Structure 1
């Protein structure tokens, strides 16, 4: 049981005409030129002559990645992903289709159970993948596909680079997606989620079945909601009641067992069809949702039933997503600029004492331009674009899996709207500028939704999770620090973070930390039972603590605290303030039962306030931004910024490898570090055709986990870069510039048996020089300790270590 049964029934063969194969390019050709009549009260924009589609990226991560590339477990084939997206966006652009891709950027507390269940599913697949690799030494079957680490960030950057509108939701993912669809008159939604079926979008296409064919068509399936309601003999309002009674995040199945027993609903893989039909017959006898009191009595017998409020909320949630519900509950006309200025986001402050401790005393910070990051000037962007073109000058663009090469014509031409400099930087199409709207969420509060360039507020999420564990566990975690303060966040910072978050220009974790002091860390591709190094999230724990300190101005808080002690405003025995952040992190002792509270750790120098880091325009501000980023990654050394040693587009890679090498416990072996560097300088790194034809003779579990360790480091480096005001331009952070999982695994196997590094570099001495220089920069000033290579299985066999070249 569950609301998912509605989607299962919609896709089932028993519902004749429920899912129909379609070609989106043909549909686009048939789009009429008519525009919707203007209605000042309804605020719905005209459709125009393009087929406008919105994609819920969470339902098709594998499709956007390009399919089940054989190496997805090896860390990700990022250049093949970019090539596929280039071809897809080119076909869509030529087909007169406009896309908007939406990622889930929320931290919905009410859906915590769903997130935990999803992580359990991923953990199970990861276990099967690693077991398969350990026994077979071959890539795993696609049925166990799990998103490669850093996939969402890579997709956001790739789509932004290709000029596709990218967005992240903030408070309620499903409601914001359907609201954007209706607000801007989109023709359809691509997703595979029963909640969208209950919302009845204008047209509902399958994201899971989206594919770019050999002949250049863009095919998928269209779900016919009209066939669903016709077959079940229910109205769309009654579908909303069915969705509520099937069980969901607001009203779980466990609360409805007596009703299921009464209706004869059973639990099982093949019971969805019969359950939906029985429930539809029952719902057909119920009163309309317009008479909610009568509906509650008809379902539960008495209006005072303890489940009544959840049921009301659940039904209303789905009604709000329908066309009539959206028009009824959409926001009133836009306020004047004067009113907008009054509605600035206010940061939470625990009490007057905390407010005094947290205020930014530097008055010049209030005179800064807060319209965007100071690091993102036009000159900087143009320079970065030139650097990106130089870094990718030797990339090879070819047809994809037999796709018609005509699709690639003008893919890099100057007059192409997809490849123009501005679109590749902004990632926002010309038609996406509008204003901020909001829609009612399940809690009755308004849900923020970006549909343009205006600033917006963030609603404060609840900090108490339904999975917060027992009271003793809470008390234990809250005793981490007795002098923790609730930090205040500048309205300018919160406004900028909100805007960048919604446009997909920033790691979602930034806004989560600033608004809720809470983060969720997903399960990764690692063996929990037989680790040769610590858990990956534990390795990057110190990095995250430094990022928290930067975001909450911990150095400044402690500076003000020390000054007050000196002046006598505070007693000498008052400890310095701490900042606590809750991390949902999996372990055997705590399988997402409660959040771990961690203390932010300040950087070892006087880091400026966040306002200064983000908005400071001076040369010194620029230098401090970069120093803050390098300090978070244990990489504040002279050679790391010397482009003769570390090319700018490989700075993220160098910093991540240096961070790993700086750990107290040896993690990486000598030949593994060389493998990372050698593969990054391999000219075939940006040749998708070569990588497609490359064959891996053996896949190792350690190699898979090393790739996951590195890509999680990239994810954390992107987080630190955003937190420090983006000192490194985003185009220089893209993972396809320095990593490919398949090529890394191939190089790792070669390096484990090669006599020296020259052999690993295929006897190209100039490549060896680059590797040696970058390794020198990475290891500068470190007391290097490499992990030991295990002894060979036979005593007479030489150890691999004897083949390593210093």
Structure 2
């Protein structure tokens, strides 16, 4: 995530915002200012992969021990000066960011096509200027850092929000990354990973206070600026005409600045001289051409508010409070404005979001994110997205109906909240399937929470956990968790493993039934080698049946998992709906409670049987057990690959086995200087436990 044009603006137009600092000196100052507090840097690990992966021969992936050595040196250097590192990794893609995620994946596809064109044209790998992160590097990096004893966390929402929140809440020394959003968040200092000299521990600090001085703004104005310029929530084209209107009336256009630089200066000037003039007197939507995009705009603004923070551009205190079933709905009671702006705060994520309703535009929005289910429940109508979100509030029955509609999957969810009434809210049906389904009952009010879904994608709804929120802190908190798995204990275990970066994608499957896989180095013109998305799909399908335990009953209808996998020819307009595939395990498929929570020695045998069943290799159990333990997983993978891909030949098998057997015992320096026999024909890296390479 980042603000359009801000990185270039800072580098070319306002270089004084960037200050050379030394981490050792900063740590010493931090210790003197906060005695007994260890200086801590929050590392946005996804921004650092390019910095850590330095091998010149990158096209085939691999160089695992060389990469691990670089990570070890990185950690040691900071540890030596008494600095603690906390590493954050992306754990999911928020629905509001899906379009931007797709756009970047398609852009990456074009970059990968140019890489393969270069290889075919020049018969050599391209230079670092065309560098693309080897497949699977982020996942491998998590486990490498854990091996080095580092605290490694995986996000349950947008990673940069969690990084900024952690830095603020724990009084950290700063954030190390490469994302202009860290200039927008009102959090601890932001340092550039690309400018870091590890030997001296010098880098560049980007100062948001100096940025504000240059733009004539205050820190609280930066989220507004970011949304008007465009970010991952607000499309760049949404305010394009507004920006050019600001530019046309801006009197201080400087010829030596680039166009984007002048636009940033012009929009900032408009905020400071026009919007500030009416701040507190007029509502923001009266000052900006929001139109049908009002809901999206407020959501973009709210996404920058960290725990405990408020925005001067939102109404801050509720004038009236209505309490419904341990819920607090705070509303503006101004009859003149005909506008309601409650702030929604989740006590775990502590994120505040506005709700705005306008009878004329029929647009309502209330963004409340549950950090466990990661589901955002908006109430809005956007004529462009075709999302209909009716909301009915009755003072007599004190009931409210919230509906969220997914225009892609035709999925509709109604959540009912009532105070005294026992009335059942009508079920909303899919207009195509005409199917009705009521699956969840509130334990306290005996009220059905109906869910109408596309039959291709049924959901299982768990009971809502509703807590009291202090009206002074703004309040509507509905922890309504709609998940694919109803066992709350197992969900908590999966969530804990996810947060601690001990598993990958498992919690996303169990909670939302939706996963994604980014770009891999695959040649879209090579029809002989199938994409890894298809090669490993049968394994994923068997894993789905294991995670979604209700699918293990033959009579049950298995829900489909939404897969956003990048592969040649996939435009990513819709996810692939992939159904679980039943597997055969000796003695029956064990439950997740047995596999995860039972520590009896005999369970290890059942875990092995389940693993082999995922690869469909139950019949090869005896042969695999005869192989030394470190190579059993390799054998499973090779057998599976050669069954799935008929274009692999004996030489490919020899190459895989040679890497596993012949490179053992070689030092990192020996491996660095090792020459590939034929680097352009290799399908994986140079080391025994390397991340997969192109097409693998």
Instruction: Pick the TM interval, shorter chain.
Output: 0.7 to 0.9
1:607 equivalenced with 2:607 (yes/no)? no
The DSSP-based 3-state class of the residue aligned with 2:647 is coil
Q: Which residue of 1 aligns with 2:91?
A: 105
**2:103 matches 1:117:** yes
Question: Hey, what's the Cα distance between the residues in 2 that align with 1:150 and 1:492?
Answer: 30
Which of 483, 487, 492 is 1:490 aligned to?
487
Matches within 5 A, 1:285-304: 285-287=273-275, 291=280, 293-300=282-289
**Deviation of 1:544 (Å):** 0.7
Higher relative contact order (CA 8 A, sep 6+): 1
Is residue 2:546 matched to residue 1:543? no
Superposition map of 1:417-428 within 5 A: none
Aligned match of 2:498: 501
Aligned length: 559
Please tell me whether the aligned partners of residues 485 and 578 of structure 1 are also in contact (alpha carbons under 8 angstroms): no
**Deviations 1:70-108, CA, capped at 9 Å, x for gaps:** 222202311111111111111111111111010010220
1:632 equivalent in alignment to 2:632? no
Question: Cα distance, 1:553 vs. partner?
Answer: 1.5
SS in 1 for 2:88: strand
Contact 2:2 2:181 in 1 (8 A): no
Work out the CA distance in 2 between the residues paired with 1:136 and 1:73: 14
1:291-370 pair list within 5 angstroms: 291=280, 293-300=282-289, 305-320=291-306
Q: 2:268: which partner in 1?
A: 280
What is the alpha-carbon distance in structure 2 between the residues aligned to residue 125 and residue 685 of structure 1?
Answer: 36
Deviations 1:507-561 (A, max 9, x none): 1x11111111111122211111123222221111111100100001256433xx4
Q: Given the alignment of the two structures, is residue 519 of structure 1 paired with residue 508 of structure 2, yes or no?
A: no
Counterpart of 1:408? Answer: none
Deviation digits for residues 147-176 of structure 1, max 9, x if unmatched? 211111111001001111110110232222
2:369/2:375 contact within 8 Å kept: no
Separation in 1, partners of 2:520, 2:130: 14
- Within-5 A mapping of 1:319-468: 319-320=305-306, 437-440=348-351, 444-446=367-369, 448=371, 457-460=372-375
Q: 1:656 aligns with which of 604, 615, 637?
A: 637
CA distance in 1, matches of 2:93, 2:503: 15
Q: What's the counterpart of residue 203 of structure 2?
A: 220
Q: Compute the TM-score of the two structures, normalised by the length of structure 2.
A: 0.73
> CA offsets, 1:555-609, max 9 Å, x none?
6433xx4xxxxxxxxxxxxxx4223111123456541001111111011232012
Query: Is residue 129–residue 140 contact of structure 1 (8 Å, CA) maintained in 2?
Result: yes
More strand per residue: 2
The question of whether the paired residues in 1 share the 8 Å contact of 2:21 and 2:203 is answered with yes
Distance in structure 2 (CA, Å) of the matches to 1:522 and 1:70: 23
> How is 1:178-217 mapped onto 2 (pairs within 5 angstroms)?
178-213=164-199, 217=200
Aligned in 2, Cα 1:489/1:75: closer, same or farther, shift over 3 Å? farther
Structure 1 stretches lacking a partner, 5+ long: 36-46, 331-341, 344-435, 449-456, 562-575, 709-734, 749-806
2:599 equivalent in structure 1: 617
User: CA distance change for structure 1 residues 517 and 329 in 2, over 3 Å: closer, same or farther?
Assistant: farther
Q: Residues 587 and 54 from structure 1, CA distance in 2 versus in 1: closer, same or farther, beyond 3 angstroms?
A: closer
The CA deviation at 1:3 is 2.1
User: Is the 8 Å Cα contact of residues 523 and 586 (structure 1) preserved in structure 2?
Assistant: yes
Contact 2:227–2:300 (8 Å) recurs in 1? yes
Asked if the contact 2:485/2:549 (under 8 Å) is kept, the reply is no
Instruction: Say which SS state the counterpart of residue 660 (structure 1) adopts.
Output: helix
Counterpart in the other structure of 1:167: 153
Question: How far, CA to CA, are the matches of 1:492 and 1:626 in structure 2?
Answer: 23
Normalising by the residue count of structure 1, what TM-score does the alignment of the two structures yield?
0.63
1:230-257 residue CA offsets vs partner (Å, 9 max, x unmatched): 1111111222211111122333222223
Which runs of 5 or more residues in structure 2 are unaligned? 317-325, 328-346, 354-365, 378-403, 413-430, 436-452, 461-483
Q: Classify 1:82/1:516 alpha carbon distance in 2 versus 1 (closer, same or farther; 3 Å).
A: same
SS in 2 for 1:221: strand
| Structure 1 residue 329 displacement after superposition | 13
* Paired position in structure 2 for 1:795: none
Corresponding residue number in structure 2 for 1:774:
none
Change (3 A) 1:53 1:169: same
* Native 8 Å contact 2:135 2:519 kept in 1: no
CA separation of 1:534/1:16 partners in 2, compared to 1, >3 Å: closer, same or farther?
closer
Matched with 1:800 is: none
Counterparts in 2 of 1:505 and 1:32: CA distance versus 1, 3 Å: same
Q: Secondary structure at the match of 2:31?
A: coil
Change in 2 beyond 3 A, CA 1:460/1:15: closer
